[in-house]
Structure 1
Amino acid sequence: MDQTVFQNLRHQSVGDLRLVIREGSYTGHTAGLGAGMLQANLVILPQDYALDFMRFCQRNPKPCPLVGVSDTGDAMMRTLGRDIDIRTDVPAYNIYRDGKLSAETMDISDLWRDDLVSFALGCSFTFEHAAIAAGIQLWHIDNNTTVPMFRTNILTVPAGPFEGPLVVSMRAIPEDQVDLAVEISRKFPLAHGAPIHIGDPAEIGVADVTRPDWGDPAPVPEGSVPVFWACGVTPQVALEAAKAPLCITHKPGHMLVTDVPQDAENPVLRPST
């Protein structure tokens, strides 16, 4: 994605941004876009798996802060904004079959079924706008890349067939701004809240921060500290264990941008018409 195009998108309203995505004109990451609005990870499952997945989210609120659930078979996320069509309004989707990643697509209209339920989970991209406003530079936004994400040795609490390790996102924060980053992110519980680990990556099972499991590598300059936040890619790992016949998620880094203000205490808006 051309840097000029990306910078122009940063100034779009969320409605206009979703329209650009719906038309297929933007398929990149959403870090730095939709300023002031809650971004969300996505999991779409058959109804038979929905209750267990909701339990998984309830038992693991740091990586899975549940902010929206659709009615069965309804492709519109009515409590998160006006005219949000979950089939088209995410820049890129991952398709899982029997627990294995089988395809990537930009539109899931042809896969939609009447038994599917959509779950939206808060995303750490949400608090990045506040961090930038406070003077914290974020390398992945400055360089138009996707934040690095890693599997850890921290286990989630299982629910039905859903289980697996916690996934984290990493940002290198200058030593003298770590406390500020913690304080800012703590104010956004719907976006994973405060970090789960600061410092030595090996303590949480990350062997090499230059080789992320998802996203793009990002440097940790001298004088900076790797800081790790719980990540909404965690459910994608749990899906591998659940082996649902069909599951659709966002491609890591490619989020749903909602109409919910980023500092909202209750993510449910009045249903759109």
Structure 2
Amino acid sequence: MSIENGTPLALLSPKQVREQIRSGQWKANTSGVASGYVQGNIVILPKAWADDFLKFCQMNPKACPIVGMSDEPGDFLLPSVGDDVDIRTDVPSYKVFHDGVFVEEVHDITSIWQDDLVTFVLGCSFSFEEPLIADGLEVRNITEGVNVPMYRTNIACRSAGPFSGTTVVSMRPMVPKDAIRAIQICTRFPSVHGAPLHFGDPAAIGVHDIAAPDFGDAVTIKEGEVPVFWACGVTPQVALEQAKPPFCITHSPGCMLVTDMRNSQLAIL
């Protein structure tokens, strides 16, 4: 993949990617972009709801690992995750919810920003795709140039205040020996979902049609491969549907905030 000057997306710096997003030139998913850097799922909530959501994340760290958040309510710059990161403009696509109901998808939230909003940046599975590929494992959604498939499951989250629900997972197909290797690799990255939750029979976790993901795009599963499932940062969107805050904003699935943090900073050596 490449953008206007022909530079491969993997070789762009995070700031270059954010500039493309901020200018409206890049509105697609960010898988494979800015290799080596942490990408983040986004949840933005009014301050009155932020403490319970923080507790929900702390109780469900596999699905909701916090890698950054705003210093004060109303802050739209996030210096803890990158230089000149403006959360209102630097995500390719946002989802806006009122009372837990999705109302619109937008590419800029400047006009709807509020002074009481708190931003959470959660670790993303795109960060562990890099070490998988470096080890020689294929990541099918990158090979096929599509968004990773994501599914609702029957795996219950621990509740915190009004926040509850079930875990969303992302899926990458692999032969069993590669799935075992993926477990070994991803165990080193607990801040970006860590090791897979499950591999093998999708029905065992409540996924009944592997060809029809709830979010993202379907990918090819070849003969001899099994689906491998990781906890996914779309999980908070399910919790938000249950909690029904009056107003909240998330990233669109697959459309992440590209930060200046290195993936290596999150690894356990």
TM-score by length of 2: 0.96
Aligned to 1:141: 142
Answer yes or no: is the 8 Å Cα contact 2:43–2:119 preserved in 1. yes
Structure 1 counterpart SS, 2:265: coil
Tell me the CA shift for residue 176 of structure 1.
Answer: 2.5
The answer to whether structure 1 residue 132 and structure 2 residue 145 are counterparts is no
Counterparts of 1:138 and 1:265, CA distance in 2: 20
Q: Deviations over 1:190-212 (max 9, x none)?
A: 11000000110000000011000
Counterparts of 1:54 and 1:263, CA distance in 2: 25
Tell me the CA shift for residue 261 of structure 1.
Answer: 0.9
Structure 1 counterpart SS, 2:115: coil
Counterparts of 1:174 and 1:31, CA distance in 2: 22
AA paired with 1:120?
V
AA paired with 1:197?
H
Aligned to 1:177: 178
- What is the alpha-carbon root mean square deviation over aligned residues? 1.3
Q: Deviations over 1:67-121 (max 9, x none)?
A: 1110210001111111100000011000011101100000000011100000000
Counterparts of 1:177 and 1:63, CA distance in 2: 22
The answer to whether structure 1 residue 45 and structure 2 residue 45 are counterparts is yes
Aligned to 1:92: 93
Counterparts of 2:14 and 2:266, CA distance in 1: 19
The answer to whether structure 1 residue 64 and structure 2 residue 68 are counterparts is no
Counterparts of 1:112 and 1:38, CA distance in 2: 25
Answer yes or no: is the 8 Å Cα contact 2:144–2:219 preserved in 1. no
Q: Deviations over 1:128-174 (max 9, x none)?
A: 01111111111111121100000100110011111101100000012
Map residues 223-234 of structure 1 onto 2, 5 A cutoff.
223-234=224-235
Structure 2 counterpart SS, 1:263: helix
AA paired with 1:32?
G
Go from structure 1 to structure 2 and tell me whether the alpha carbon gap of 1:62 and 1:210 turns closer, same or farther (over 3 Å shift). Answer: same
Query: Aligned pairs, how many?
Result: 264
AA paired with 1:131?
L
Aligned to 2:24: 24
Structure 2 counterpart SS, 1:10: helix
Aligned to 1:191: 192
AA paired with 2:8?
N
Go from structure 1 to structure 2 and tell me whether the alpha carbon gap of 1:84 and 1:4 turns closer, same or farther (over 3 Å shift). Answer: closer
Tell me the CA shift for residue 7 of structure 1.
Answer: 6.7
Structure 2 counterpart SS, 1:103: strand
AA paired with 2:81?
L
Deviates more, 1:164-173 or 1:135-144: 135-144
Consecutive unaligned residues in structure 1, runs of 5 or more: 267-273
Structure 1 runs of 4+ with >4 Å offset? none
Aligned to 2:169: 168
Tell me the CA shift for residue 186 of structure 1.
Answer: 1.0
Go from structure 1 to structure 2 and tell me whether the alpha carbon gap of 1:192 and 1:7 turns closer, same or farther (over 3 Å shift). Answer: farther
Aligned to 2:264: 263
Counterparts of 2:158 and 2:172, CA distance in 1: 25
Aligned to 1:270: none
Counterparts of 2:151 and 2:213, CA distance in 1: 5
